[in-house]
Amino acid sequence: MIQLDVSNATGFLPEDWLTSRTERLEQARGWLENGSGAGGSFTGWVHLPRDYDKEEFARIRCAAKKIQSDSQALVVVGIGGSYLGARAVIELLKSPNYNLKKKDTPDIFFAGNGLSTDALLEIIDLVKDRDFSVNVISKSGTTTEPAVAFRIFKNLLEEKYGKEEARRRIYATTDAHKGALKGLADSEGYETFVVPDAVGGRYSVLTAVGLLPIAVAGIDLEKLMEGAAQAMEALSVPGMDNPAWQYAAARHALYTLGKRTEILVGYEPAFRFFAEWWKQLYGESEGKDGKGLFPASVEFTADLHSMGQYIQQGERLMFESVVRFAESLGSFTIPHDPDNVDGLNFLSGKPLSFVAEQAMRGTLLAHVDGGVPNLVIQAARRDEHTVGELIYFFEYSCGLSGYLLEVNPFDQPGVEAYKKNMYALLGKPGYEAQKAELEARLGH
Amino acid sequence: MIQLDVSNATGFLPEDWLTSRTERLEQARGWLENGSGAGGSFTGWVHLPRDYDKEEFARIRCAAKKIQSDSQALVVVGIGGSYLGARAVIELLKSPNYNLKKKDTPDIFFAGNGLSTDALLEIIDLVKDRDFSVNVISKSGTTTEPAVAFRIFKNLLEEKYGKEEARRRIYATTDAHKGALKGLADSEGYETFVVPDAVGGRYSVLTAVGLLPIAVAGIDLEKLMEGAAQAMEALSVPGMDNPAWQYAAARHALYTLGKRTEILVGYEPAFRFFAEWWKQLYGESEGKDGKGLFPASVEFTADLHSMGQYIQQGERLMFESVVRFAESLGSFTIPHDPDNVDGLNFLSGKPLSFVAEQAMRGTLLAHVDGGVPNLVIQAARRDEHTVGELIYFFEYSCGLSGYLLEVNPFDQPGVEAYKKNMYALLGKPGYEAQKAELEARLGH
């Protein structure tokens, strides 16, 4: 199971950093387990790895098989939690170069997560001459970005295959009962999957929202859920050796001491997008009421040659949380150079992973010496089971963290602000007064 | 030319935010123009767009043509500034999906910028059965990450083509006179390009370091340099309407007021890596002596559904610098839906870029209302000329910013710390004493 090594942070913390918080952690644990805290109606993810809908799970795997058999590409239409989780897991378990690699599963493109014309045209160009399917993911069906993209890819499918076959190539992940997309899906006969009411977007990667694209990429859902279930069991046990308790307490203690930025550190390019998922999870859960750690991320050792300078010697406002996988999937031995041009023959014959390990250990000590506390999240091999654990570990710790911070970790009231302004400026019926006011402020 | 709109930040600033800094900006301008300030021996980039080596420039274009004609892939081996600039420009002007797209230029893979075994094995797998060339970029030739990768790809080329042909497929960008890589290149007869002494890694994208890979991707170097040269002319003129003066003064004023994080905002997925380049530029230049703005980045509108909540309502420690391209390269009209399922028919027939524009304006006002100052960097079309301008604008503003902050904007003393520890832990001869000490601290 995931372990947390706090030994490179405790020197910065008071002795009672954990003990002074166990009572509140016990309370937060209860709120999560029973859904009795702030935002408690959105704690459906807590027991999801045990209680998930087995019938739907089987249908997801079936749909993935069909898509694998009749499509060279899958276009996933969704934004925020309807996008980040699937992309994070696919990149972490397959590769950021997943689409480029030779494989027997479809390419996967993420659309409808922004408003870039050029990015959209590019995806159209990449799929239009190939067999493809669409997974549209939206609770309501009316969020601007995915709704616009869905109009486009639906049209494209209908032009290419006709209405009948297009319907068989559209998979809608949406509300179980209501909403625009659910209505359309029912009337058109799309296969549908459920965005559960009790699970918010950023906690939804282990629902159909994340699982269908993840399954299409050839990832073993069973093992992913097993890993999450194992973490669920382990982390529900109260106690000071619970790594989620430790992580939540340590980051809250560091915040209390004045740290304002948490940098999630990975050592694999494949981890880059998982960090983006983590940013949404923590940033949206904690960043409210003028509070919260600012979530940032780096990819080492690459970024030791970019953000490394700042981390070593800039403002002392941050700490690092390092995710360390115990082993690589493959192995590679550093070749010998008879001329030793680069002076690295003391490494000849050693595995590259040995060098990476020493870089990690050396960086840890350098940053601690520079005044940056380091928490190390130790995971096993980068496989389905471990990634399932990691997802649940971060979700559960995030719930605890939000309660320690005394915020509702399950709402996101600030996300509406830009939408309202955008609707007004776009001339959406009903927003006329606001439009005039905003235009005046913009001075044209 | 690039313009800066400060109107969404001035409400947060004292009236004299700019006038109180003009004297120091004038002084900093002199230091940059004459190389007479701290780190002045590394200001070779200031007049580079005018004074660059025209003979080498022609050779770069020649080499790029040769690589385009005999290679399906180019492996670029480099770390930090020897990697970020080229990747940033290629993604911004071509696409993050550059390698995936149909094109008549080679795929480009970046290696030697980290120590991930799996990422390295993947690149080997992606190039080994194709015709490829290698551009190794290292001032010294002894930096661990690129040196290890170069051993590997050099061996791969020699196994594939024999020693003679391999030599013709290796391009070394390195010191003009000395160092391990220069020595090897001369003895093996590689074509070489120069990492100039007077240009530090993070300011080197418009030298051979960045230009060779950029040219191989089919980007017009002439226009890129023209854009940079135009910015050089414009930004060297002292005065309060100089956008680099405004940017440097505004960010320094915001820092003085207690802001600690600058978020670079883009609205294109293609901009994502340019922001990584910007992070190195600003983080390494300013993050020292316990000072500096922490550089972060987001991609909107995607991240409005992730980091958006924090930016709207979290700790009020940040401001945003938005890079806005005036127009998209392509255009797309939102289709009409007779059933108006998603309720978006008020947008039917409108260009998607119109929606993006209103999202940007709406976000700007929402974030200002949330207490986040916004600086808007207005650029023209996303083409070579504009990106040349943008690069120079950020570099020049960064030099000014460093001097306002009273740091040396051209050194990076903190980058050595992890390297020394890593060498010791790896057992590099000469580091024995430190190794024992570090191992003891690590407790095993």
Interface touch A305/B347, C-beta < 8 Å: no
Among all residues of chain B, which has the CA nearest to that of A145?
Answer: B301
Average pLDDT over residues A415-434: 94
- pLDDT higher than threshold 90 for residue B444: no
In whole angstroms, give the CA distance from residue B425 to residue B113.
Answer: 20
Say yes or no: B434 contacts chain A, CB-CB below 8 A: no
Radius of gyration, alpha carbons of chain A: 23
| Alpha-helical segments (H) within B169-271 | 180-188, 208-216, 221-235, 243-256
Say yes or no: A347 contacts chain B, CB-CB below 8 A: yes
How far is A61 from chain B, CA to nearest CA, in Å?
Answer: 27
Q: Please give the DSSP secondary-structure letter assigned to residue A335.
A: P
Which residue bears the tokens 């625009």? A180
In whole angstroms, give the CA distance from residue B350 to residue B320.
Answer: 28
Say yes or no: B259 contacts chain A, CB-CB below 8 A: no
Beta bridge partners, A122, equal: none
- Confidence category of residue B357, pLDDT binned at 50, 70, 90: very high
Say yes or no: A252 contacts chain B, CB-CB below 8 A: no
| Alpha-helical segments (H) within A257-333 | 272-286, 308-313
For residue range B226-273, list pLDDT tens digits in order.
999 999 999 999 999 999 999 999 999 999 999 999 999 999 999 999
- Confidence category of residue B225, pLDDT binned at 50, 70, 90: very high
Contacts of B443 in chain A (CB under 8 A): 7
B contact test, residue of A109, A115, A328 with most B CBs within 10 A: A115
For residue range B108-130, list pLDDT tens digits in order.
999 999 999 999 999 999 999 99
Picking from A310, A337, A339, the nearest residue to B292 by CB comes out as A310
Percent of chain A with pLDDT over 90: 99
In whole angstroms, give the CA distance from residue A191 to residue A374.
Answer: 46
In whole angstroms, give the CA distance from residue B173 to residue A351.
Answer: 27
Say yes or no: B81 contacts chain A, CB-CB below 8 A: yes
The interface residues of chain B toward chain A in range 292-321, judged by CB-CB distance below 8 A, are: 292, 294-296, 299-302, 304-318
Spatial contact of B109 and B123, defined as CB atoms under 8 Å apart: yes
How many CA atoms are closer than 13 Å to the CA of A238, on its beta-carbon side?
14
CA distances from A404 to A177, A392, A398, B13 (A): 35, 18, 10, 34
Among all residues of chain B, which has the CA nearest to that of A120?
Answer: B332
In whole angstroms, give the CA distance from residue A397 to residue A375.
Answer: 13
Q: Is B102 annotated as catalytic?
A: no
In whole angstroms, give the CA distance from residue B376 to residue B393.
Answer: 13
Contacts of B339 in chain A (CB under 8 A): 184
Spatial contact of A277 and A46, defined as CB atoms under 8 Å apart: no
Which residue bears the tokens 């170097």? B221
Interface touch A344/B99, C-beta < 8 Å: no
Average pLDDT over residues B413-420: 94
Say yes or no: A443 contacts chain B, CB-CB below 8 A: yes
Average pLDDT over residues A386-401: 98
How far is B121 from chain A, CA to nearest CA, in Å?
Answer: 7
Interface touch A314/B292, C-beta < 8 Å: yes
Picking from A115, A313, A314, the nearest residue to B294 by CB comes out as A314
How far is B408 from chain A, CA to nearest CA, in Å?
Answer: 13
Say yes or no: A72 contacts chain B, CB-CB below 8 A: no
**Residue B170 buriedness (CB in 10 A; 0-12 / 13-18 / 19+):** buried
Spatial contact of B44 and B202, defined as CB atoms under 8 Å apart: no
Say yes or no: A367 contacts chain B, CB-CB below 8 A: yes
Percent of chain B with pLDDT over 90: 99
Look at residues A67, A8, A14, A7 and name the one whose alpha carbon lies nearest to residue A257. A14
In whole angstroms, give the CA distance from residue A307 to residue A312.
Answer: 9
The overall average pLDDT reported for chain B is 97
Structure tokens at B199: 């240009």
Say yes or no: B144 contacts chain A, CB-CB below 8 A: yes
Q: A25 in the Ramachandran plot: left (φ > 0), alpha (ψ -120 to 50) or beta?
A: alpha
From B101, B178, B350, B419, active-site residue: B419
- pLDDT higher than threshold 70 for residue A377: yes
In whole angstroms, give the CA distance from residue B130 to residue B71.
Answer: 8
Structure tokens at A7: 């030994």
Instruction: Provide the 3-class DSSP secondary structure of residue B351.
Output: strand
Look at residues A185, A111, A188, A109 and name the one whose alpha carbon lies nearest to residue A141. A185
In whole angstroms, give the CA distance from residue B398 to residue B404.
Answer: 10
Picking from A120, A302, A328, the nearest residue to B113 by CB comes out as A302
How far is it between the farthest Cα atoms of chain A? 76
Say yes or no: B249 contacts chain A, CB-CB below 8 A: no
Helix (H) or strand (E) holding B191: strand B191-194
Q: Vertex A184, ends A182 and A187: CA angle to 5°? A: 110
Which residue bears the tokens 């382990």? A234
Spatial contact of A195 and A209, defined as CB atoms under 8 Å apart: yes
Which residue bears the tokens 């991240």? B303
Residue B346: φ, ψ to 5°: -65, -10
Long-range CB contacts for residues A56-65, cutoff 8 Å, separation at least 24: A56/A193, A56/A194, A56/A208, A57/A211, A57/A221, A57/A225, A59/A191, A59/A193, A60/A193, A60/A208, A60/A211, A60/A212, A60/A215, A60/A221, A61/A215, A61/A221, A63/A171, A63/A191, A63/A193, A63/A212, A63/A215, A64/A212, A64/A215, A64/A216
In whole angstroms, give the CA distance from residue B47 to residue B39.
Answer: 16
Q: Please give the DSSP secondary-structure letter assigned to residue B438.
A: H
In whole angstroms, give the CA distance from residue A378 to residue A5.
Answer: 7
Radius of gyration, alpha carbons of chain B: 23
In whole angstroms, give the CA distance from residue A266 to residue B331.
Answer: 37
Interface touch B346/A288, C-beta < 8 Å: no
Task: Provide the pLDDT for residue A443.
Answer: 82
Picking from A284, A356, A370, the nearest residue to B309 by CB comes out as A284
Which residue bears the tokens 């999240």? A377
For residue range A23-73, list pLDDT tens digits in order.
999 999 999 999 999 999 999 999 999 999 999 999 999 999 999 999 999
Contacts of B300 in chain A (CB under 8 A): 114
In whole angstroms, give the CA distance from residue B41 to residue B168.
Answer: 34
Which residue bears the tokens 């199971």? A1
- Confidence category of residue A444, pLDDT binned at 50, 70, 90: low
- Confidence category of residue A277, pLDDT binned at 50, 70, 90: very high
How far is A116 from chain B, CA to nearest CA, in Å?
Answer: 6
Among all residues of chain A, which has the CA nearest to that of B407?
Answer: A314
The interface residues of chain B toward chain A in range 111-130, judged by CB-CB distance below 8 A, are: 113-122, 125-126
Contacts of B331 in chain A (CB under 8 A): 117
Instruction: Provide the 3-class DSSP secondary structure of residue B22.
Output: helix
Spatial contact of A377 and A247, defined as CB atoms under 8 Å apart: yes
Which amino acid, residue A173? T
How far is it between the farthest Cα atoms of chain B? 76
Contacts of A7 in chain B (CB under 8 A): 443
Structure tokens at A442: 């913009």
How far is A112 from chain B, CA to nearest CA, in Å?
Answer: 9
Contacts of A112 in chain B (CB under 8 A): none
Say yes or no: B380 contacts chain A, CB-CB below 8 A: no
In whole angstroms, give the CA distance from residue B54 to residue B418.
Answer: 38
Beta bridge partners, A193, equal: A173
- Could you give the ipTM of this predicted complex? 0.98
Interaxial angle between packed helices A432-442 and A416-426, expressed in degrees from 0 to 180 and rounded to the nearest 10:
90
Which amino acid, residue A171? Y
Interaxial angle between packed helices A221-235 and A384-404, expressed in degrees from 0 to 180 and rounded to the nearest 10:
40
Per DSSP, which regions of B231-306 are E strands?
261-266, 294-299
How far is B341 from chain A, CA to nearest CA, in Å?
Answer: 6
Say yes or no: A205 contacts chain B, CB-CB below 8 A: no
CA B39 from chain centre, in angstroms, equals 20
For residue range B130-183, list pLDDT tens digits in order.
999 999 999 999 999 999 999 999 999 999 999 999 999 999 999 999 999 999
Structure tokens at A49: 């790895």
Average pLDDT over residues A381-399: 98
Contacts of A353 in chain B (CB under 8 A): 117
Give catalytic residue positions of A. Answer: 284, 419
Beta bridge partners, A262, equal: A295, A319
Q: Of all residues in chain A, what percent are helix, strand and coil, respectively (each to 5)?
A: 55, 15, 35
Beta bridge partners, A111, equal: A77
Model pTM?
0.98
Task: Provide the pLDDT for residue A43.
Answer: 98
For residue range B47-102, list pLDDT tens digits in order.
999 999 999 999 999 999 999 999 999 999 999 999 999 999 999 999 999 999 99
Look at residues B342, B57, B13 and name the one whose alpha carbon lies nearest to residue B214. B57
Which residue bears the tokens 């780190």? B39
Interface touch A79/B418, C-beta < 8 Å: no
Say yes or no: A381 contacts chain B, CB-CB below 8 A: no
Contacts of B10 in chain A (CB under 8 A): none
Task: Provide the pLDDT for residue B443.
Answer: 82
